[in-house]
Structure 1
Amino acid sequence: MALLAHLERFNQRHPWSHNDFYGRWVAGQVAASGARHVLDIGCGTGNLVELLRHRATSVTGLEPDPATARVAADRFSDTDTVVIERAAFAEHARQRRWDAITLVAVLHHLPLAETLRELRGCLTPGGRLVIVGCYREASPGDHLTAALAALANPIMGLVKHPARARALPVHMTAPTAVARETLAEIRAVAATELPGARIRRRLFWRYSLVYDAPAHPGPA
C-alpha cells in the first residue's frame, strides 16, 4: 500500500493524459476511413479535435460541461471548419449522419447498449466509429495489463511532464466515472449492436473499438 501511495503522489507531480496518448491513433483511424465530416463526442478542451481538423473537412465537438466547452469554443473561434456545441450526446439532434464518430473515455459514462445502437444509427453508409474506452478489470489478462501500465505510467510521466506540476492541466480536470462493464461484457454487447467491431485491450487502462458501418445497409 505504501508503494501504491508513493506512485500516486509521483503521478500527480508528473501528470500526463492517457486519453491524449491515443489521440494520434484515433485520428489516424478516422483519416484511413476517408471521413470528411466528423463528430467527436465528449471533446473536452479539444485536443483530439485539433488532430481531427487537419484530417477532415469539418469537425463538430460535443462537450456537456459549460466551462470546458467554452475553452474549446475559444480555442477554435478563428476557424470555420470546427464547431463546438455545449451538449451531451443524448441532447444532440439525431437527424444528421456522420462519416466518422469518435469517443475517448466517454462511453463508460453512458448506457452501453443503447448508446452503441444510437451511434450506429448516426453513421453514414460506410462510416467509421472509433472508441477508446475504459473498462472494469476482472480477468487475469486485465490485471496483468494494469500491472504493466502501473509500472510504465511514472516513466511516461517523466518523459511527457518532467517538471513537477503544481496542478493538473485544464484538459485533465473533466469529471470522471468508474467503468461499470468488463471488457468481456463490452465485447458481448458490441457483438450484438456493432457486428464486426474490432476490439482490443490497450495499455494504460483502455481498450479500443473500431466499427465500420456497411457501405450498403440492408432494409430496416
Structure 2
Amino acid sequence: MALRSRAQSFAGGTLARGMARVNARHPWSHNDHFHPWILRNLPDRRRAALDIGCGEGALVASLAPHFTTVVGNDVDPGMLAATRARCSALPNVTVTGEAWAGLPGPFDLVTMVAVLHHLDVPAALTHVASSLAPGGRFLAVGIAPPRSARDHAWDAASILTNPVIGFVKHPRADRSGPRPTPYPVVEPTLALDDLRRHVEDVMPGARVRHRLAFRHTVAWTRPA
C-alpha cells in the first residue's frame, strides 16, 4: 500500500508517528463505521440473515431486531465466545463455527465485513449467490490494496479524513495508548478492479464502490 508506506517514511516518520498518536487518542472502528450503511440497505423480506466472520458480534446484535433469525458465523473460538456473550439475551440469534458455505439457507441477507479478502473470492461469491433467496441481498465491506490512480486518491482522502472522523466519533482523548486489534489480520492482495471483475462475473449488476476509511462496499440483490 504504497501511499501509506510513503506517508510512514515521510520526514523520517515524524508525520506518521504524529498521526498514529492522534488516532490512538481518538480511536474508532473502521469496520463498525459501516454497520449503519448495512442497516440502511436491508432487503424488504427479512426472515433469515447470515453474518460471515461475525467477530465480536456487534453487527449480529444490530441485525437481530430486523430479522426473524440471525446466524453469526466465525472460525475463531474467541470471536465466537464474544458473540455468544453479546447475543446471549437474543433468542433469535444462533452463533456457529461450522463451515458457512454448508449452513442451511436460503438467507434474505448475507453480510461480510473485512472478511472477503481472507477467502477464495470466486468460490466465496458463488456460495453467497447460491445461498441467497430470490430478492435476497449481499452486503460486504472490504479492504483492497491500492493499485490504480483512483485507488491512491481514495487512500489519500482516507489518510486525511481518518483523524477528523476520530475526533467526531471519539472527541474525548483516550490516553491509554494504542490497543492491538482482537481480530485476525491478513493483508489484502486483490486490487479493487480485480475484485470488481470477480463480482461482476458472479453477481451481475452489483455495486462496488470506493469508500473512505480505506474500505470499499459491495451490494447485490439476487434477482427474484
Q: Using structure 1 for the length normalisation, give the TM-score.
A: 0.89
Q: In the TM superposition, what whole-angstrom CA distance separates every residue of 1:161-198 from its partner, at most 9, and x where no partner exists?
A: 2231526679x421111111111101111111111111
The 3-state SS of whatever aligns with 2:105 is: coil
Q: What is the match of residue 163 of structure 1?
A: 173
User: Counterpart in 2 of 1:146?
Assistant: 155
Seen in structure 2, the aligned counterparts of structure 1 residues 169 and 72 have a Cα distance that, compared at 3 Å, is farther
Deviation of 1:86 (Å): 2.7
> Whole-Å Cα distance in 2 between the matches of residues 77 and 167 of structure 1?
31
**1:197, 1:168 → 2: CA distance?**
37
CA distance in 1, matches of 2:145, 2:197: 14
Query: 1:202-213 to 2 correspondence within 5 Å?
Result: 202-213=211-222
Identity value in percent? 35
CA RMSD of aligned residues (A): 1.8
Q: What is the match of residue 38 of structure 2?
A: 26
Alignment correspondent of 2:109:
100
State the distance in 1 between where 2:94 and 2:175 align. 31
TM-score, L = length of structure 2: 0.88
Q: In the alignment, residue 18 of structure 2 is paired with which amino acid?
A: H
Match of 2:192 among 158, 179, 183: 183
Which whole-Å CA distance do the structure 1 matches of 2:98 and 2:166 have between them?
Answer: 32
Determine if contact 1:24/1:51 at 8 Å carries over to the other structure: no
Q: Check conservation: 1:131, 1:210, Cα contact below 8 A.
A: yes
Q: Which amino acid aligns with 1:148?
A: A
Correspondences of 1:1-220 after superposition (within 5 Å): 1=10, 2-30=14-42, 32-89=43-100, 92-161=101-170, 162-166=172-176, 172-215=181-224
- What per-residue deviation string (whole Å, max 9, x for no partner) do you get for residues 59-96 of structure 1? 1100211112101101111221111113453xx52442
Deviations 1:32-56 (A, max 9, x none): 4332210001111111112211221
Displacement, 1:159? 2.4
1-structure distance, mates of 2:163, 2:99: 33
The one-letter amino acid paired with 1:83 is T
Q: Larger deviation: 153-162 or 198-207?
A: 153-162
Cα distance in 2 for residues equivalent to 1:144 and 1:165:
31
Count the aligned residue pairs.
211
- Over 3 Å counting, the alpha-carbon distance change for 1:151 and 1:38 in structure 2 is same
Q: Is the CA contact 2:61–2:86 (under 8 Å) kept in the aligned structure 1?
A: no
Runs (4 or more) in structure 1 with deviation over 3 Å come to 167-170
Alpha-carbon distance between aligned partners in 2 of 1:33 and 1:4, rounded to the nearest angstrom: 44
Residue ranges of structure 2 left out of the alignment (5+ in a row) = 1-9
Aligned-partner residue type, residue 80 of structure 2: A
Supply the distance in 1 between the matched residues of 2:175 and 2:221 (Cα, whole angstroms): 40
